[in-house]
Amino acid sequence: MAPQVRFRTRIPAYRHRPGRSQALVTLTDSATRQRRDYWLGEYDSPQSRELYHRIIAEWEANGRRFPTISATLPGPLEPDVITVNEVVHEYWQWAQGYYSPSHLGIVKTILCLLRRYNGSTPAAQFGPRYLRLLRDEMIRGDPKATPPRKPWARSCINLQMQRTRHIFKWAAARELVPVSVYQSLCTLEPLRRGRSLAHETKKVGPVPQHLLDATLPLLNRPVRAVAELQLLTGARAGELLRLRAIDLQRDEPSGVWTFRPVEHKTAHHGKERIIYFGPRAQEILRPFFVGRSVSAFLFSPADAEADRRAKLHAARTTPLSYGNSPGTHRRETPMRKPHDCYNVKSYGRSIDYACDKAFPPPEHLRALPGETFDQWRARLSRKEKAELTVWRKEHRWHPHQLRHNAATNLRREFGLEAAQIALGHASAQITDAVYAERDCAKVIEIMRKIG
């Protein structure tokens, strides 16, 4: 494989040849500085777009030297020849009834890349070379895509390579492609740490205590309750957000409540997940039982909206005999209504809002009074946007970090096995390596004594 070099020059554009219905792209060889035109076929056709992306990918992978493979589309296909586009279509139809909605988004990403770069390629010819070019595109990203695709991390790319192989393994099992296609794709080695241009992901850790202390009081009542339950139980946000009173099993002798979610991360492996609620967690849950059906979700955005309106009404200074009476200024059929329960995204957004309220960015990065979101984003320079991104990374946290807080606290106070059971891990090695941060206080105390 040719060495990959980063260049600051722009990607050559997909162009229309003047006076003709042809599309072309002009490449410059990085070594000789010579220029060469590549004809792509009929302008604005799907085949010419696909060929353009394939030539650019080969040019980038070759250190921006002229492509070494033949830069032409495959010849006319026989009627019974199956293309990558057809494999993608059949796999997507199957995946929609097999994967969860959250995982479907990940699958769709890799399917879109396959269609973009190799859609018209005969599926039987899709080998390690095409897979390597696809991987190089994941490393580089595409700022011109809609939406723009950032360069992916090494671990993410390796997972997407496994999913790509699975697509062709699935196709081979249904006799859409020869099994040799899948076997040849397995010969492409995964990216190794420090031996590729792909960046590494930062290890997820617990939420710093000062961020928690500043943010929790600013969360609305349902969101704060879920966050506190995560800290006590180590549960995932998605496991708690759909909790109902009818789902709780109350064991009076032990004084501990249990919850067995039907849908959870390892449900498709046939594993059972049990979440335990002790006395402190029960005190958090009890107020949400009042005035609610046992089959209703406990944590609802409608409750948060009702609390917000009640707070505004309590702060009202205008007498009730003046202005609008409570409830008279509402639409009978509003365009947007609060949902019955939070999902992971809306839960995370609520936390982001509280973080921004607790830690507002510097004055020059804030929106001006009366300025819309689009106007504010257009006013910020590229340098200011990068500065704002860094600020938010340092002063925001996401819900999954609370699981790391719980794992660390459980391990410190009750040992690794207790943390493993509470988090629902099949092996303590996962709890030890991924979630529970090691307590260095004991080592520091020992080294202080022995010098």
CATH number at residue 433: 1.10.443.10
Q: What is the pLDDT averaged over residues 354-361?
A: 94
> Which is more confident, 312 or 269?
312
Q: Is residue 106 part of a domain?
A: yes
Confidence of residue 447 (pLDDT cuts 50, 70, 90): low
pLDDT band at 123, cuts 50/70/90? Answer: very high
pLDDT at 398: 92
- Output the average pLDDT for the chain: 84
Q: What is the pLDDT of residue 72?
A: 47
Task: Check residue 253 and give its pLDDT.
Answer: 77
Give the whole-angstrom CA distance, residue 8 versus residue 278. Answer: 57
Q: How far is CA 41 from CA 23, 123, 348, 383, in A?
A: 6, 21, 46, 40
Q: Quick one: 386 and 435 in the same domain?
A: yes
CATH number at residue 90: 1.10.150.130
Which element (helix H / strand E) includes 27?
strand 22-28
What digits encode the pLDDT tens for the residues 231-262? Answer: 998 888 988 999 999 999 887 777 889 888 88
Q: Is the pLDDT of residue 164 over 60?
A: yes
Same domain, 154 and 144: yes
Residues 159 and 230 in one domain: no
pTM, two decimals, is 0.72
At residue 5, the pLDDT reads 41
Print the domain residue range for 264: 202-318+336-451
Taking 3-state DSSP, the helix, strand and coil percentages for the chain, each rounded to the nearest 5, stand at 50, 10, 40
Distance of CA 336 to the CA centre of its chain: 25
**Does residue 41 share a domain with residue 156?**
no
323 assigned to some structural domain: no
Q: Is residue 326 part of a domain?
A: no
Residue 6 is predicted with a pLDDT of 44
Does 221 score more than 60 pLDDT?
A: yes
Predicted pLDDT at 77: 47
Residues 185 and 165 sit within 8 Å (Cβ to Cβ) = yes
Same domain? 61 vs 179: no
- Determine the pLDDT at residue 9: 60
Domain assignment of residue 327, yes or no: no
Residue bearing the bigger pLDDT, 71 or 113: 113
Look-up: residue for tokens 């080998």? 127
**Do 160 and 102 sit in the same domain of this protein?**
yes
Do 53 and 95 reside in the same domain of the chain? Answer: no
Question: Which of 31, 51, 73 delimits the end of a domain?
Answer: 73
Whether 69 shows a pLDDT value over 70: the answer reads no
CB 115 within 8 A of CB 88: yes
Q: Which of 73, 94, 110 is the last residue of a domain?
A: 73
The residue-averaged pLDDT of 305-314 equals 85
- Is 49 inside any structural domain? yes
Q: Are residue 126 and residue 192 in the same domain, yes or no?
A: yes
> Within 13 Å, how many C-alpha atoms sit on residue 451's CB side?
0
Question: What integer pLDDT is reported at residue 449 of this predicted model?
Answer: 67
Same domain, 196 and 207: no
- Indicate whether 325 belongs to any domain: no
How many domains in the chain? Answer: 3
pLDDT exceeds 50 at position 73: no
Last residue of a domain, one of 200, 226, 260: 200
Residue labelled with tokens 């190799």: 118
Question: Residue 324: inside a domain, yes or no?
Answer: no
Q: 277 and 163 in one domain? A: no
One DSSP character per residue, 223-288 reads: HHHHHHHHHHH---HHHHTT-BGGGEEEETTTTEEEE--SS-TTGGGT----EEE-HHHHHHHGGG
Residue 26 has a CB neighbour count (10 Å cut-off) of: 11
> 187 and 148, same structural domain?
yes
Same domain, 280 and 365: yes
